[in-house]
């Protein structure tokens, strides 16, 4: 559990002892779930947000025809899920979360974030500030994604995405494979692979398996700024 507490952004700036003290004050509880079981259903009231301790889960939504669509896959200890729905003032989560393996999660009551307790705990205030920071990062991420998806051609979207994650030495730390990249950009994987191959053939990218390197940063910037010239 300590590993998850150290990596979860909700406990940033806290020692494991401070995090545990805050959790005890909140009424948080650890629960175990067998593979294939629901952690919460779409119709459940959004009373808690969750931290993954170990295992893996899928965030899903059912269509009107009864088909289950996977919206997200979560498998890193310390990852949060369900946090947005707790603050939407709605009757149900609107999505379900399914355990993909034997899984343990930490459920924290949403009401804990609405005010500090009567003890005036500094760690309680820290956790509330951390939650605000998490939402701020989500908002920034979504703003950037909207700007990226509305930027035009697939090549221009790719150039923008690569530049966002570019290191000074030309290497990249995308944190996603090609399938995830295609989903992020809203295109099919074959279309993405074709465009990556074309950019490689034109000398815009170096591709070695999953590794991508940008030999000429200025060329990518020109694609973003002057797409008709490329």
- Closest to 78 (Cα-Cα) out of 55, 101, 95: 55
Strand segments, DSSP code E, in the chain are 29-33, 38-40, 48-54, 57-62, 68-74, 80-81, 96-99, 103-109, 206-208, 211-213
Q: Is residue 229 part of a domain?
A: no
Give me the pLDDT at residue 55, please. Answer: 94
Which domain covers residue 68, as residue numbers?
A: 1-139
Give me the pLDDT at residue 174, please. Answer: 66
Q: Which CATH number covers residue 186?
A: 1.10.10.10
Give me the pLDDT at residue 71, please. Answer: 79
Give me the pLDDT at residue 92, please. Answer: 93
The helix (H) or strand (E) run that includes residue 149 is helix 122-149
Tens place of pLDDT for every residue, the chain, 230 residues? 778 888 899 999 998 888 888 898 889 999 999 999 999 999 999 999 999 999 999 998 877 666 767 778 888 899 999 999 999 988 999 899 999 999 999 999 999 998 876 665 788 889 999 999 999 988 888 887 787 777 788 999 888 888 888 888 877 766 677 887 887 788 888 998 899 989 999 999 888 766 788 888 888 888 887 655 44
Q: Is there a contact between 87 and 37 (Cβ–Cβ < 8 Å)?
A: no
Q: Is residue 144 part of a domain?
A: no
Running DSSP on this structure, what letter comes out for residue 152? S
Residues 21 and 94 in one domain: yes
Q: Is residue 185 part of a domain?
A: yes
Among 139, 166, 181, identify where a domain stops: 139
Residues 19 and 41 in one domain: yes
The per-type count for the chain, helices as H runs and strands as E runs, is 8, 10
Q: Which CATH number covers residue 36?
A: 2.60.120.10
Q: Which residues pair with 96 in a beta bridge?
A: 60
Give me the pLDDT at residue 229, please. Answer: 47
Task: Give percent helix, percent strand, percent coil of the chain, each to the nearest 5.
Answer: 45, 20, 35
Give me the pLDDT at residue 120, please. Answer: 59
Q: Is residue 94 part of a domain?
A: yes
Q: For residue range 189-214, what is the model confidence (pLDDT) as tens digits?
A: 899 889 998 999 999 988 876 678 88
Q: Is residue 180 part of a domain?
A: yes
Give me the pLDDT at residue 40, please. Answer: 95
- Closest to 106 (Cα-Cα) out of 82, 122, 139, 133: 82
Residues 70 and 6 in one domain: yes
Give me the pLDDT at residue 116, please. Answer: 76
DSSP letters along 4-36, please? HHHH-GGGTT--HHHHHHHHHHHT-EEEEE-TT
Among 91, 107, 139, identify where a domain stops: 139
Question: pTM here?
Answer: 0.69
Give me the pLDDT at residue 175, please. Answer: 66
Among 139, 165, 196, identify where a domain stops: 139
Running DSSP on this structure, what letter comes out for residue 166? B
């Amino acid at each position: 559990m300590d590993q998850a507490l150290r990596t979860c952004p909700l406990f940033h700036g806290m020692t494991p002892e401070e995090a545990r003290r805050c959790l005890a004050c909140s009424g948080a509880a650890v629960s175990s779930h067998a593979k294939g079981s629901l952690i919460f259903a779409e119709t459940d009231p959004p009373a808690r947000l969750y931290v993954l301790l170990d295992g893996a889960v899928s965030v899903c939504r059912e269509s009107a025809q009864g088909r289950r669509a996977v919206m997200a896959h979560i498998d890193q200890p310390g990852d949060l899920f369900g946090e947005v729905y707790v603050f939407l003032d709605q009757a149900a989560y609107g999505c379900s979360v399914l355990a993909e393996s034997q899984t343990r999660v930490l459920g924290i009551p949403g009401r804990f974030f609405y005010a500090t307790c009567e003890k005036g705990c500094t760690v309680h205030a820290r956790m509330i500030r951390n939650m605000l920071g998490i939402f701020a990062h989500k908002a920034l991420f979504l703003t950037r994604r909207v700007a990226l998806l509305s930027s035009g051609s697939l090549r221009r979207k790719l150039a923008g995405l690569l530049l966002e994650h570019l290191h000074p030495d030309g290497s990249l730390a995308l944190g996603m494979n090609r399938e995830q990249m295609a989903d992020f950009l809203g295109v099919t994987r074959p279309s993405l692979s074709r465009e990556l191959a074309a950019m490689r053939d034109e000398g815009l990218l170096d591709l070695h398996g999953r590794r991508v390197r940008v030999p000429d940063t200025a060329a990518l910037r020109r694609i973003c700024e002057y797409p008709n010239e490329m």
